[in-house]
Structure 1
Amino acid sequence: MHMVTDEFAMNSLNAAKQQLRSAMKQRLGAISKESVKAQSSVVFNKLREFKPYVEARRVSIFLSMSTGEIQTDGIVRHALESGKEVFVPYLHRNPLPSPDLPVRVMDMVRLRDIEDYESLQPDRWGIPSIDPATVHDRQRIFGGPDAHHSDKALLDLILVPGVAFDIAPETGAIRRLGHGKGFYDYFINRLKAKAKDLGVEGHIVNLYALGLSEQLLRSPAEGSIPMGPYDQRIDGLILGDGQVVIHPTD
């Protein structure tokens, strides 16, 4: 009976998330390219003076779709030019197949330099993507048996995308609705487990989202983001209108 209740709750949660994603898709589709470009510039200018970014040595940055989200091209270039180690998402089949685990998972792989970044080819969503043929030669956060130099690799800062965000009225927690694949939630869980295995359980990885101002649900009338047991809490949100929302310290 308990399992049936849990399954019903998860199905209800997923249905509520999917409904909100559909509504947000319409909202985001109406934003002009000029607005996205202007908001992306505001976020970039905020971020480059933002202490967690300034002090981060190893940064993971999402690479943007061409519409409907903050464009990160300027951030990637600035981070590389600033001498930071820059990691970007790479999706691949899960090497540990199991009915309880996702079929596809995300790793973060390091860009070598600006030329390397500029050589990435767009995937079917227009997102610049790592060539699978080059992955074995790159530093990765998890990697495989060939990635001996990734054993101790962790991250200082992860910049994440999202479909929508809101602020929990009771706690001030910033809630994120992703695209529904769970790539970031699963990656961050694995990263925490890796830090524990390395004996640096207290290692702080800052998790900040970048969003268009239209992606923040500002009142219950606009909807609220349902949270499940595996959804990761984010530390802050930088928006395209210049607003910076920080999760209250416990």
Structure 2
Amino acid sequence: MNSKRYIRNQVKEALDSLTDEQYRQASQQIADHLIASSDWKASNVVALTISRGREVNTNQIIQLAWEQGKRVAVPRADFIEKTMTFYEIKNFAELEEGDYGLREPVPNICPIVPFDELDLIIVPGLAFDKDGGRLGFGGGFYDRFLPKVKVKTIALAFSCQLVPLVPTEEHDQKVDDIICPTGFVR
């Protein structure tokens, strides 16, 4: 079995090799599949991160959520406690750059969104397998957060982020569904 470090390195290299056009087109295809899904249509409060680097572009998804009257909840990480608090953002100006280059909500202007108000969680990650196994970025934030909520989880992934098997441990949380440019793979 490939180690987590090896898989992270391989996927990062594959993501870095995407051309700008491949990145833009695949992000759009993934967003189109998400927006067409019954889970999206049934949700009023969507939780997701602000994409960075070669992560699937979430800005267009957030913009569409606002246009459809959905509430958007974005996490702010506490790197000492290894926890996240979700805040509602109503525009991109309510974000600031936090640790590790993350764009996060400004806590004194954005209201907290309680976990029980979330309808759909778009879970970030670096690699995924078809059983919903997820390899995150190493902080364990979502592995600690997801057991606290009983909400549909979807990962957005480029095809190069799908691997045969993600090595998992007991505390690792799986996602319910994965959307790639060709559609749902789980």
> Distance in 2 between the 1:190 and 1:81 partners?
29
Q: Structure 2-normalised TM-score?
A: 0.89
Look up the match of 1:106.
84
* Cα-to-partner distance string for 1:205-250 (whole Å, 9 max, x where unaligned): 1000001111112x5xxxx21011111121110112x23122xxxx
Q: Select which of 174, 181, 184 maps to 1:233.
A: 174
Q: Select which of 175, 194, 213 maps to 2:133.
A: 175
Deviation (angstroms), 1:154:
3.0
% identical aligned pairs: 30
Q: Select which of 207, 210, 226 maps to 2:156.
A: 210
Q: Select which of 72, 75, 88 maps to 1:89.
A: 75
Deviation (angstroms), 1:125:
5.0
Partner AA of 1:225 in structure 2: V
| 1:63 to 2:50 alignment | yes
Check whether the contact 2:11–2:126 (CA below 8 A) recurs between aligned residues: yes
Check whether the contact 2:123–2:175 (CA below 8 A) recurs between aligned residues: no
Check whether the contact 1:107–1:187 (CA below 8 A) recurs between aligned residues: no
Deviation (angstroms), 1:84:
1.2
> Distance in 2 between the 1:140 and 1:55 partners?
18
Q: Which sections of structure 2, spanning at least 5 residues, go unmatched? A: none
Q: Structure 1-normalised TM-score?
A: 0.68
Partner AA of 2:25 in structure 1: A
Partner AA of 1:74 in structure 2: Q
Check whether the contact 2:125–2:137 (CA below 8 A) recurs between aligned residues: yes
> Distance in 2 between the 1:236 and 1:104 partners?
25
Residue correspondence of structure 1 range 19-58 to structure 2 within 5 A: 19-58=6-45
Partner AA of 1:176 in structure 2: R
> Distance in 1 between the 2:160 and 2:3 partners?
19
Partner AA of 2:154 in structure 1: Y
Deviation (angstroms), 1:127:
3.8
Deviation (angstroms), 1:185:
1.2
> Distance in 1 between the 2:83 and 2:94 partners?
23
Look up the match of 1:154.
117
* Cα-to-partner distance string for 1:152-203 (whole Å, 9 max, x where unaligned): x431110011111112xxxxx2211111111111111233xxxxxxxxxxxx
Q: Secondary structure at the match of 2:87?
A: strand
> Distance in 1 between the 2:102 and 2:139 partners?
16
Tell me how large the CA RMSD over aligned residues is.
2.2
> Distance in 2 between the 1:119 and 1:183 partners?
22
Further displaced range: 19-28 or 76-85: 19-28
Structure 1 segments (4+ residues) deviating >6 Å: none
Q: Secondary structure at the match of 1:40?
A: helix
Partner AA of 2:122 in structure 1: L
Shift of the 30–125 alpha-carbon distance from structure 1 to 2, 3 Å rule, reads farther
